Amino acid sequence: MAKILIVEDEFIIAWNIEEILQAFGHEVIDTVGSGEEAIALVAEQKPDLVLMDIHLQGDLDGVSTAKQLNQAQVRVVYLTAQADDQEMQRAIETNPFGYILKPFTHEQLRTAVSSALAP
């Protein structure tokens, strides 16, 4: 199926997402906790999809990272536990392929990933 990069700075959540995606038949190419790591891996691995937490470690948050990934034409689905109107507007401006609020169900994750990967 698809090659997916998980960008999530909370280890337990990242591990859970990885397990769910693998159960759906996807290949998780890596899990990283910062935007800087994500940008480097996208250039190297060229994933089909990036699941991006909005709040990350380091200098780049998820929205700033996604803006840079847009140049690489990578599909991004945001993950977040909370989002205010200003943050949502910033995220929308990056033209994401989806948005998932935490906590989410397996089915919500499956639906968002399937929609983002649709031709």
Q: How far is residue 71's CA from residue 69's CA, in Å, rounded to a whole number?
A: 5
Backbone phi, psi, residue 5, to 5°: -105, 130
Q: Could you give phi then psi for residue 27, rounded to 5 degrees?
A: -100, 120
Cβ atoms 49, 116 nearer than 8 A: yes
Count of residues making up the chain: 119
DSSP string, the chain: --EEEEE-S-HHHHHHHHHHHHHTT-EEEEEESBHHHHHHHHHHH--SEEEEESS-BSS--HHHHHHHHHTTT-EEEEEES---HHHHHHHHTT--SEEEESS--HHHHHHHHHHHH--
| Six-digit token string for 27 | 């290949």
The segments of the chain whose pLDDT lies below 70 read none
Range of the domain at 29: 3-117
Domain count across the chain: 1
Residue 71 pLDDT: 87
Q: What is the pTM of this model?
A: 0.95
What does the pLDDT look like over 56-90, one tens digit per residue?
988 999 999 999 999 889 999 999 987 788 888 99
Indicate which CATH number applies to the domain containing 47: 3.40.50.2300
